[in-house]
Structure 1
């Protein structure tokens, strides 16, 4: 099937977020895509062995996922633990799954240091945001996969319709 979509598991209702919760996305397209067999569900952090719940993590110093991939920035938990290697592994796992299953698109939860595609938090754990991508979103985009945030589902619907 063409038009497969890698989707953040938390958006489908799986309680895999750092706080042990889900953030289900209510949109008629989700059920249609599920019925069509288009959805490939994944939590990158869990694929790399992170537990649920887990301490909040942010990309340090207002950097981005691209900076993490280039070795210029780190991902740290609120505890101070460096989880950069785990987030890089999570991104590689997501890319491998997307490629193995033929996903040309990804629908990811925004704000995450892994999946954020429009904004991420600035590393201060103060709630301050800035535009940027998480590590997984950056790697998927680098590989040519079209990434959409949960706030851009209508754009994804349009992109899929245009690709037919």
Structure 2
């Protein structure tokens, strides 16, 4: 059975920067009951508290954070790059440990966003880009989806399981 890395906030865990959570999502609840889910909040795993100040990447490109050319900053100007990179590395360790090929991560997050992130101005301006964890996982060959792409994630899992037959 194919397992999936899932953002803890999408499972109802109160780990968002503001202490909140998301969901419930029927499909994720089913996957959890089936034992498919490997839960992770990269920001908390990387050492940040809950709640915590909101953070964004100037320019919104997690890959540039991984390359060492952009920081992750809070709205107070605190540099939290090390924690974001540490959390991404923990996600990659889980991918390797469990042989994960699919992740469902929180849309628009500076860690987990897979299509859009905020631009670093703390003005709710979205840009095409991905978070730090999403970028690292994609570089490692993991297919990264968000909570608005659950049907696509389920189809990918089904295809992988059919190929592994």
Q: Which TM class, normalised by the smaller chain length?
A: over 0.9
The answer as to 2:148 corresponding to 1:151 is yes
Q: How does 1:86-105 map to 2 (within 5 A)?
A: 86-105=83-102
Task: State the Cα RMSD in Å.
Answer: 1.0
Note the C-alpha offset of 1:30. Answer: 1.5
The answer as to 2:19 corresponding to 1:20 is yes
Q: Is the 2:105–2:114 Cα contact (8 Å) retained in structure 1?
A: yes
Question: Where does the alignment leave 5 or more consecutive residues of structure 2 unmatched?
Answer: none
How many residues are paired up?
A: 161
TM-score with structure 2 length normalisation? Answer: 0.94
Note the C-alpha offset of 1:131. Answer: 1.1
Q: Is the 2:8–2:41 Cα contact (8 Å) retained in structure 1?
A: yes
SS of the aligned residue for 1:148 comes to strand
The answer as to 2:139 corresponding to 1:142 is yes
SS of the aligned residue for 2:121 comes to coil
TM-score with structure 1 length normalisation? Answer: 0.95
Aligned to 2:69: 72
SS of the aligned residue for 1:103 comes to coil
Note the C-alpha offset of 1:141. Answer: 0.5
